[in-house]
Chain A
Amino acid sequence: MARYVIKRLVYAVLTLFVLITLVFFMMRMLPGDPFLGEKAISPTALANMNAKYGLDKPVFIQYLMYMGNCLTGDLGMSITYNRPVMEIVSESFLVSADLGIRALIFATIAGILLGAVAAIKRGTVWDSLSMFIAMIGVSVPSFILGAVLQYFLGLQLRKVLGMNIFPIQGWGTFKHTLLPAFALGLGSLATVSRLMRTSMLDVLSSDYIKTARSKGLSQSQILWRHALRNAVMPVVTIMGPTVASVLTGTFVIESIFNIPGLGKYFVTSIKDLDYTMIGGTVVFYGALLIVCTLVVDLLYGLIDPRVKLED
């Protein structure tokens, strides 16, 4: 186990290295210039701006410098915001993670329960309800869901009741997290519940459940000790990258509910060609993704004794 983890960590560093290298050169191939504004800038001023961010040196030298700085934990200064990328990423990540954790807890618990119940009570109302929720979660994208929730629960409900239950936008109090966490989590909930249902059906028809049943175990014992544990595997698999992406926020939810999260920087940094910010978000997201998949792989071994962690 320890050896496996160490080996994986070595790979993680290598992966991150390759990722940063690739992204560094890819973003330099993006068309445009970060300093081209609406109005013209004198060549001297442009040269000064390039010099300030080290963009006047050959790309390969810039790459070496960037890698060196990354090793010391310095992600550079954002071109758009004139402040350290590390500071922006860490501040906004706290917000995204806060929201993301709420959304994930909601999505996984509700999704697993809904999926499991749908499978156990296959063909009943519960099954249809689970299907219906999953349908909404998947086929109504967050930009529609967020806008509709905001309008009906945020604005109209306030008009009807005359009190402020769901704030329309903003960030800061528990109330502010309700609608965005729901909108953010519903998509994952749908995926989780659908996967859980199928996987649970598979498990319930497997031999060891029949064995357990013939041993005379009670229904709840079978479900809790045998079925659920094995059925949750595909959900765990899909959760690795989902956790990474939900925790880092999404552009759509953040712009609808005006949340100062990390998600928008993934989009705006590329549109603004803020090289240091692109690098910073990629390093951060990449690291998080790698850690999440590692955790998922470790969880495999814990949940399913059939899986051996190979080293």
Chain B
Amino acid sequence: MEHIDKSRFAHVGESAHDREAIARPSLTFTQDAMRRLAKNRVALVCVVLIVLLSLMSAFAPIFSPFDYREQHYGHTNAPMFSVCDDESSAGYGHMHLFGTDTLGRDLYTRIWMGGRVSLIIAVTTAIVDLIVGCIYGGISGYFGGTLDIIMMRLLEIINGIPYLIIVILLMMVLEPGMMTIIIAYSTVGWIPMARLVRGQVVALKQQEYIAAAEAMGAKPARIILKHLLPNTLSVVIVRVTLAIPNAIFSEAYLSYIGLGIPLPKCSWGSLAQLGIQNFRMYPWQLLIPAICISLTMLAFNMFGDGLRDAFDPKLRR
């Protein structure tokens, strides 16, 4: 072995200051998660995409030369990029970027009008889903016993009542509009989530860290919120992202039976439904709303994956 001369090394000594310094900044759980999320490029791209779709929905209809309900009788089912030839319209000479629908309404304007409705519904119902489902499932799973059985039977009952009946009855009481749609979906939308969370909690509550928390005198609310739910997070996030397109289509279903947003307003779901009628002749009428929905879904899904990676305590390093 080659000899290394000791003189090549010098003792630097240690400074008390350096020794006490904290190499990494002190971070709370949330800060740590956000930091990791910010490092995830895919998740960031998805956030940008969602913001972009939201901005377009908010502003594109305002700047469009066409009104979302204005019908051009001479120009129905026009292909993409066709120029409006209706002299009585404010949009005369402008281009129908996405063509027109079966009544000659500008699809570009309608897509973004529809985006307003669909995105708001998607996000709010996802939040309701998350809050109600997690708490209900958490309580039911953690306490177990008779309470669990009763709470789960209640779910079965709500699940057993036909959605259509609930919706029609709601329609008698409420004015048609965005709020009603959210309420209608919220009555049943959270059930799969509650079931899922409960299933996870039932399995998790046997684990040592829960026993430890209990031994330390943690209250049930703390155990559920701080210990159990964070550990179910990965599954919960998947379910939420899957619930988003569900909510969008549920709205389309509602508009089909009259509880949807009042006509002639539209949503991506209702545009897709109208598009499917003639997709063989005018495929873009279906493709454009379908792509919007898929993009939203993809963005939320990838973003969800990023969130999961960032927030899951088990993956924390």
Task: Tell me the minimal C-beta distance from A46 to chain B in angstroms.
Answer: 22
- Complexed CA–CA distance, A29 and B161 (Å): 14
Chain B CB within 8 A of A166 CB: no
Residues of B246-293 at the interface with A, using a CB-CB cut-off of 8 Å, are 246, 249, 252, 272-273, 276, 279-280, 286, 290, 293
**Distance to closest chain B CB from A194 (angstroms):** 5
Asked whether A293 lies within 8 Å of B164 as measured between CB atoms, the reply is no
Instruction: Tell which of B5-13, B19-27, B196-204 binds the partner.
Output: B196-204
Q: Is B28 an interface residue (CB 8 A)?
A: no
Top-6 shortest CB links A-B: A237-B199, A139-B297, A286-B160, A139-B294, A19-B160, A15-B153
Known: A135-B301, A138-B297, A139-B298. A238 touches B203 (CB 8 A): no
Once A138-B297, A307-B202, A307-B203 are accepted as A-B contacts, the answer to whether A11 and B161 lie under 8 Å apart by CB is: no
Check if B149 is an interface residue, CB within 8 A of chain A: yes
18 A–B contact pairs at CB < 8 A?
A135-B294, A138-B242, A140-B290, A144-B272, A144-B286, A144-B290, A148-B279, A190-B242, A191-B242, A199-B235, A233-B199, A234-B200, A238-B192, A241-B192, A266-B164, A267-B164, A293-B152, A300-B199
A151 near B280: Cβ-Cβ < 8 Å? yes
Q: Known contacts A31-B172, A139-B297, A198-B234; decide if A306 and B195 are in contact (CB<8 Å).
A: no
Chain B interface main SS type: helix
Judge if A227 is at the interface, Cβ distance under 8 Å.
Answer: no
Kindly state whether residue B315 has any CB partner on chain A within 8 Å: yes
Q: Are A19 and B161 in contact (CB under 8 A)?
A: yes
Query: Is A205 an interface residue, CB under 8 A from the partner?
Result: yes
Are A205 and B196 in contact, CB atoms less than 8 angstroms apart?
no
Q: Which residues of B contact A (CB under 8 A)?
A: 144-145, 148-149, 152-153, 156-157, 159-162, 164-166, 168-169, 172, 191-192, 195-196, 198-200, 202-203, 206-207, 234-235, 237-239, 241-242, 245-246, 249, 252, 272-273, 276, 279-280, 286, 290, 293-294, 296-298, 301, 308, 312, 314-315
A138 to B300, CA, bound (A): 12
| Interface pair B234/A270, CB less than 8 Å apart | no
Say yes or no: is A202 at the interface (Cβ < 8 Å to chain B). Answer: yes
Interchain CA distance A143-B286 in the complex, whole Å: 11
Q: A18 to B242, alpha carbons, bound, how many Å?
A: 31
- Whether the Cβ atoms of B238 and A194 lie closer than 8 Å is yes
Cα A12 to Cα B271 with chains together (Å): 42
Interface flags, A126-164, vs B, CB<8A=1, else 0: 000001001100111101100110010000000000000
B160–A194 contact, CB under 8 A? no
Is the Cβ of A195 less than 8 Å from the Cβ of B165?
A: no
Contacts of B315 in A (CB 8 A): 205
- CB-CB under 8 A from A202, the residues of chain B are 234-235, 312, 314
With both beta carbons as reference points, the residue of chain B lying nearest to A142 in the complex is identified as B249
Q: Do B169 and A26 have beta carbons less than 8 Å apart? A: yes
Q: State the Cβ distance, B234 to closest chain A Cβ, in Å.
A: 5
Beyond the given A18-B153, A240-B195, A306-B206, could you list 9 further A-B residue pairs with CB under 8 A, ordered by the A residue number? A23-B161, A26-B166, A135-B297, A139-B298, A194-B301, A195-B235, A205-B315, A307-B203, A310-B145
Docked complex Cα distance between A15 and B298 (Å): 38
Complex contact B160–A282 (CB within 8 A): yes
Residues of chain A within 8 A (CB-CB) of B272 are 141, 144
**Among the interface residues A11, A144, A151, A307, which one has the most CB atoms of the partner chain B within 10 A?**
A144
Cβ–Cβ contact B308 & A290, under 8 A: no
- A14–B289 Cα distance when bound, in Å, is 45
Bound CA span A120–B145, Å: 36
Within 8 A of B (CB), among A215-255: 233-234, 236-238, 240-241
> A15 CA to B294 CA in the complex, in Å?
38
Residue in A closest to B287 when the chains form the complex, CB atoms: A144
A29 to B286 CA separation, bound complex (whole angstroms):
37
Nearest CB on B from A115, distance (A): 10
Contact of A281 (CB < 8 Å), options: B148, B162, B249: B162
Q: How far is the CB of B221 from chain A (nearest CB, A)?
A: 21
Contacts of B279 in A (CB 8 A): 147-148, 151
Q: Is A201 an interface residue (CB 8 A)?
A: yes
Question: Once the chains bind, are A15 and B161 in contact (CB under 8 Å)?
Answer: no
What separation, in Å, do the CA atoms of A241 and B280 have in the docked complex? 35
* Chain A residues with CB below 8 A from B166, complex form: 26
* Contacts A138-B297, A310-B145 given; does A27 touch B165 at CB 8 Å: yes
- B156 and A286 within 8 A (CB): yes
- A278 CB to closest chain B CB, in angstroms? 7
Residues of chain B contacted by A2 (CB below 8 angstroms): none
Q: A18-B157, A147-B276 known; A278 and B162 CB under 8 Å? A: yes
- Contact between chains at B196 and A234 (CB < 8 Å): yes
Find A22's partner among B152, B157, B203, B237 (CB 8 Å cutoff): B157
Q: Is the CB of A198 within 8 A of B238?
A: yes
Instruction: Determine the chain B residues whose CB is within 8 A of the CB of A289 once the complex forms.
Output: 156, 159-160
Closest to B297 in A: A139
Q: With A11-B153, A138-B245, A140-B290 as known contacts, state yes or no: A199 contacts B234, CB within 8 Å.
A: yes
